[in-house]
Structure 1
Amino acid sequence: MDISALVNQLSGVLDDQTYKASDVLAKIGSEEVVLEMIKLLEHPQDDSKVMAARTLGAIENNQSALDALLQAIDNNPAIAGELLVELEGFDLSAKYVPIFKYSLFGNFKVATVAQDLLDHKEFDITPRVIKKATKAWHHYENNVKHDEVFELKKVEVEEMLADLQAFVDSE
Structure 2
Amino acid sequence: MQDEIQKLFDRMTDPKESEAYHFADKLGSLADEEIKDKLIELVKGEDWEVSYLACRALSKTKFNEEALDAIFEKIFDRNNKAIQGAFVQILEEFDLNNRFVDLFRVYLFGNFKASTLAKDYLDGIEFDITPRTIKKAEKHWNHYLHNPEDEGSLAIKKSEVEPMFKELKDLFE
Give the TM-score normalised by structure 2.
0.86
Give the Cα separation in 1 of the matches to 2:55 and 2:151: 35
Partner amino acid for 2:28?
A
Give the Cα separation in 1 of the matches to 2:127 and 2:154: 25
Unaligned runs of 5+ in 2: none
Give the Cα separation in 1 of the matches to 2:16 and 2:125: 31
Deviations 1:134-165 (A, max 9, x none): 12112111223654x32222111101111111
Report what 1:157 is aligned to: 161
Report what 1:40 is aligned to: 42
Contact map agreement 2:14 2:20 (CA 8 A) in 1: no
Over the aligned positions, Cα root-mean-square deviation in angstroms equals: 1.9
| 1:76-95 correspondence runs (5 A) | 76-95=80-99
Displaced runs of 4+ in structure 1, greater than 4 A?
A: none
Give the Cα separation in 1 of the matches to 2:16 and 2:138: 42
Deviations 1:46-86 (A, max 9, x none): 11011111111232443332211211222222322111222
Report what 2:114 is aligned to: 110
| 1:129-140 correspondence runs (5 A) | 129-140=133-144
Report what 2:7 is aligned to: 5
1:166 to partner: Cα distance: 1.1
Partner amino acid for 1:66?
L
Percent of aligned pairs with the same amino acid: 38
Partner amino acid for 1:41?
V
Question: Structure 1 pair 70/146, CA: closer, same or farther in 2 (3 Å)?
Answer: closer
1:106 to partner: Cα distance: 0.6
Q: Greater shift after overlay, 98-107 or 42-51? A: 42-51
Give the TM-score normalised by structure 1.
0.87
Contact map agreement 2:88 2:118 (CA 8 A) in 1: yes
Contact map agreement 1:12 1:45 (CA 8 A) in 2: no
1:18 to 11, 17, 20: 20
2:65 to 59, 63, 67: 63
Give the Cα separation in 1 of the matches to 2:23 and 2:89: 19
Give the Cα separation in 2 of the matches to 1:92 and 1:50: 18
Unaligned runs of 5+ in 1: none
